[in-house]
């Protein structure tokens, strides 16, 4: 046992392996290869020290929902070769931060934000993979475009040359009613299938980012290519809205 092989490191390795096995099993049920489903570990409220353990366990990309938290972790971990995906709502005035350090942004939902990201990415000389967030649950509390507005929105995206559109993202309704959760995922896949036929040139809709710790198996059965998983890897979050993390 090396000095770094603490119980905490072992727990993260164990949880990661368990999640990967569940991804593979759900994929197999749906006739899909595990290699076609990307696990994005979500590290909101997880300390940089614990993110290092996940890196040591093989993770190379992490998801964060708040840009400030993501920025400070990217700085604290700048010695590691890791990439960052911003998966939460972004205010236009914070586009510059995402343009500086993120590899992927999963919550694009307005042209104003696309314009701000494009301008800042041009300044930085960078490109960004983006997913368009869709509100599949109809809940007012959720961000994302209503499904019927996505087609018109996609038409504008080819003119933003720094934004590489990869697909769609959604959050399902938070409910113990599995049928309602599944309906959200199915809606995203059906929307993607309908839009794919005549997607604008350069706009790929290959990716479907859907599914979190509580519902990722259902999402995979409905076609998820990216699952965003935090608590099943890092344990429960005691302070879900905190900007701070235990040291
Ligand atoms: C926190 C978060 C997740 C992961 O949720 P868990 O329950 O920890 O798996 C996924 N997607 C988004 C947008 C999040 O903010």
Q: Is the Cβ–Cβ distance between 170 and 134 less than 8 Å?
A: yes
Q: Give domain status of residue 175, yes or no.
A: yes
Ligand 1 site, residue 213, Cβ cutoff 6 A: yes
Q: Give domain status of residue 18, yes or no.
A: yes
> Which residues contact residue 34 at a Cβ distance below 8 angstroms, ignoring those fewer than 6 apart?
20, 23, 24, 27, 28
pLDDT of residue 247: 38
Q: What distances in angstroms separate CA 241 from CA 91, 164, 193, 209, one per listed residue?
A: 17, 30, 35, 22
Q: Which domain holds residue 53?
A: 3-231
For the CA of 88, the closest atom of ligand 1 is 13
Q: Whose CA is nearest to atom 14 of ligand 1?
A: 65
Tens digit of pLDDT at every position of the chain (247 positions): 555 589 999 999 999 999 999 999 999 999 999 999 999 999 999 999 999 999 999 999 999 999 999 999 999 999 999 999 999 999 999 999 999 999 999 999 999 999 999 999 999 999 999 999 999 999 999 999 999 999 999 999 999 999 999 999 999 999 999 999 999 999 999 999 999 999 999 999 999 999 999 999 999 999 999 999 999 999 999 765 544 444 3
For the CA of 169, the closest atom of ligand 1 is 13
- In 3-state terms, what secondary structure has residue 211? coil
The pLDDT tens digits of the residues spanning 169-215 come to: 999 999 999 999 999 999 999 999 999 999 999 999 999 999 999 99
**Cβ atoms < 10 Å from Cβ of 237:** 15
Ligand 1 site, residue 65, Cβ cutoff 6 A: yes
Q: Give domain status of residue 238, yes or no.
A: no
Q: Give domain status of residue 215, yes or no.
A: yes
Q: Give domain status of residue 29, yes or no.
A: yes
pLDDT of residue 246: 46
Q: Give domain status of residue 93, yes or no.
A: yes
| Structure-block tokens of residue 3 | 């000095």
Domain count within the chain: 1
* Ligand 1 center from residue 123 Cα (angstroms): 31
Ligand 1 site, residue 228, Cβ cutoff 6 A: yes
pLDDT of residue 5: 83
* Ligand 1 center from residue 36 Cα (angstroms): 20
Q: Give domain status of residue 245, yes or no.
A: no
pTM of the model: 0.94
pLDDT of residue 109: 98
CATH of the domain at 205: 3.20.20.10
pLDDT of residue 240: 54
Please tell me the distance from the alpha carbon of residue 80 to that of residue 195, in angstroms, as a whole number. 38
pLDDT of residue 56: 97
* Ligand 1 center from residue 225 Cα (angstroms): 16
Q: Give domain status of residue 239, yes or no.
A: no
């Amino acid at each position: 046992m090396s000095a770094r092989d603490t119980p905490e490191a072992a727990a993260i390795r164990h949880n990661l392996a368990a999640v990967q096995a569940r991804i593979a099993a759900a994929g197999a049920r749906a006739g899909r290869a595990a290699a076609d489903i990307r696990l994005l570990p979500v590290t909101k409220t997880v300390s940089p020290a614990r993110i290092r353990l996940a890196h040591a366990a093989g993770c190379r990309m992490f998801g964060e929902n708040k840009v400030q938290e993501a920025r400070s972790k990217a700085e604290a971990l700048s010695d590691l070769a890791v990439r960052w995906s911003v998966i939460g709502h972004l205010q236009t005035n914070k586009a510059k931060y995402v343009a500086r350090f993120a590899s992927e942004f999963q919550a694009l939902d307005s042209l104003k934000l696309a314009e701000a990201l494009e301008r800042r990415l041009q300044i930085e000389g960078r490109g960004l993979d983006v997913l368009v967030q869709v509100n599949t649950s109809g809940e007012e509390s959720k961000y994302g475009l209503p499904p019927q507005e996505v087609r018109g929105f996609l038409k504008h995206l080819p003119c933003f040359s720094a934004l590489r559109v990869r697909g769609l993202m959604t959050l399902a309704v938070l409910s113990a009613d599995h049928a309602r959760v599944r309906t959200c995922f199915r809606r995203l896949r059906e929307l993607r299938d309908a839009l794919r036929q005549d997607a604008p040139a350069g706009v790929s809709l290959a990716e479907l980012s859907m599914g979190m710790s509580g519902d990722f198996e259902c999402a995979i059965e409905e076609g998820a290519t990216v699952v965003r998983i935090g608590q099943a890897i890092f344990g429960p979050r005691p302070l879900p809205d905190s900007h701070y993390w235990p040291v």
